[in-house]
Chains A and B, each alone.
Chain A
């Protein structure tokens, strides 16, 4: 019985690792631009298909395929910024526009993918010949370890970038007050473009890893909703908070699925999340960023 619950805990962390990967990219945009970028899901879907081509069609080794997909994601992130948000930023548009624009672009990307690839389903070639590590009766998947490890590496890299580099300083300035940052000589447009390219690269990595862990369909990016919930639990705009929130969400989902079943579990988790936010609106991290949209 103990082993059963330990295995379920592993299942929960594994699920949370997937959410964490999504949440980091989502939280990055929120931390700098202070709006919930639901187009991140669309980028994840696009990246998953790109990852399929690099990994399965062109037979690139996993590391090269991940890097190539990250590059595609970065380019897509920049394009997304110019299509959906650049003019809104220039014109100090109302907050709701960012929200509408991000959702619209997310839907747009997914529907373009449906038109291009909707005739069948795709799967990325497994990264590991044997994906399973057995410790006694416990089973851990190498793919889950990889996702979790990569998430922490990306988090560390982002924290270093934000806290220890000039670009990070500029990024923090823009996040606090874009106009003042400009008066201080910071080119906000460049900073925002860089932010979108980094978030896009993260979406690229998420896309190929999610595609390899599950299967690919145009709506794979809808998992961004879980990343959003994880970010809310962790503290909107906080990168470490997003990861903690994601792992917690994954474990909670598994525990309640086991205890009350899959039908009741989402309702209980939403109620618990609401209660938690009533008590602690700033989330687990205590980091609170004023939301734009």
Chain B
């Protein structure tokens, strides 16, 4: 009898594990099918643009992978990135593929866990024979992956904005196989800090950040450094943990110092909670933010005015570079585009450019060299991207300072800042 019970328990456990791993299914493309991954949690590109309907003849396929959080706390961002990556893959294949070969992408869900990410990366390289990898979007994972990629020699192009993902902290030199496809945390934090100092005229500031998240920490530190260097006093710097939802204790402490502005650089859900609580505690001053104050921030703070909130925004959905992607996202999902869709798209475009220029498209090392040397004004949904070969981060790429319209109907772009 006990054996039966054990069996039932084991089955339930396995079912739970299987469900939690659903986002991690592989779904490799095949010669005639959809070239985008078939992960159940991963929306593929628009059916009308499927490669099976294109008339292009292919000779074999090039496999790339993605390692993104599609079932953990950042699943919303990860799934949008998967959507963007799939869209780019389809677009590339519809246009004839890469050097006569079809591009195929395999998605792995890493559940926001660095160990899962390392396992997924190893599996992509060793088993799936992926020649380049998209993601992760999380800096903690990027930091963990950097030395592994150095060993495996297969490039990773992602949106891990912490500079330690692209620069070896100990040697100060670049990680050879890690590439960032948007301005780094330092660059974005300095952009919002300089806007606050120059345009908003703040003299004092408080900071609330997520101490468990490298992305958040590496916004807070350069922001504080920039402020101090430009005569703005940081009157309070408070942190919270990953699972915290009530920040009123920390915020009361910051607000007691009566700062001109409060900077909150975290993920969208945390930002929304912090913003609502800041206003609940009666603070009506300026709130400054990072690049995760876009949709669905508006729905999360329903009922709270967005006045006096300024934040970073990476793309202009009305621009020639980005409009098509935003339109496709809205058409398919009937909601405003999640900015990570652009990130996924851009990462695949940079990899595709590397593949087009690589001497050997079966060698990660060769592809990495091509990404390093040939990413010069590559057209992406965020505009042209040029990777600095010495840092593996974009150069000459800016960010927008943005605010929500008072009725929360749209994000208004105020100014374009070139990252220093």
Contact = CB atoms under 8 A, between A and B. Distances in A.
Report if A and B associate in a common complex. yes
Interface stretch (B15-23, B26-34, B149-157, B174-182): B15-23
A121 B239 CA distance: 22
A84 interface: yes
Contacts of B272: 121, 123, 215
Given A93-B5, A219-B243, A263-B241, 5 more contacts: A118-B70, A119-B75, A119-B80, A121-B299, A132-B282
Nearest to A88: B5
B12 interface: yes
A7 B253 CA distance: 10
Interface string B370-389: 00000000000000000000
B268 interface: yes
Contact of A120 (B19, B252, B335): B335
A17 to B, nearest CB: 10
A83 B11 CA distance: 12
A32 B20 CA distance: 31
A14 B281 CA distance: 13
B95 interface: no
Which 5 A-B residue pairings sit nearest by Cβ, starting from the closest? A118-B75, A126-B303, A108-B16, A254-B249, A111-B20
B73 interface: yes
Given A118-B76, A132-B282, A8 B71 contact: no
Contacts of A111: 16, 19-20, 22, 71
A15 B246 contact: yes
A218 B272 CA distance: 17
- The A interface is mostly helix, strand or loop, or mixed, namely helix
Given A118-B71, A118-B79, A125-B303, A104 B16 contact: yes
A276 interface: no
B41 A215 contact: no
Given A84-B12, A100-B9, A215-B300, A262 B238 contact: yes
A108 B5 contact: no
Given A126-B302, A222-B243, A258 B249 contact: yes
A174 interface: no
B263 interface: no
A266 interface: yes
24 contacts: A8-B252, A15-B246, A15-B248, A15-B249, A83-B12, A91-B2, A91-B5, A111-B16, A118-B41, A119-B75, A121-B272, A123-B301, A131-B280, A139-B280, A215-B273, A217-B73, A218-B75, A223-B243, A257-B249, A257-B250, A258-B252, A261-B239, A262-B241, A262-B250
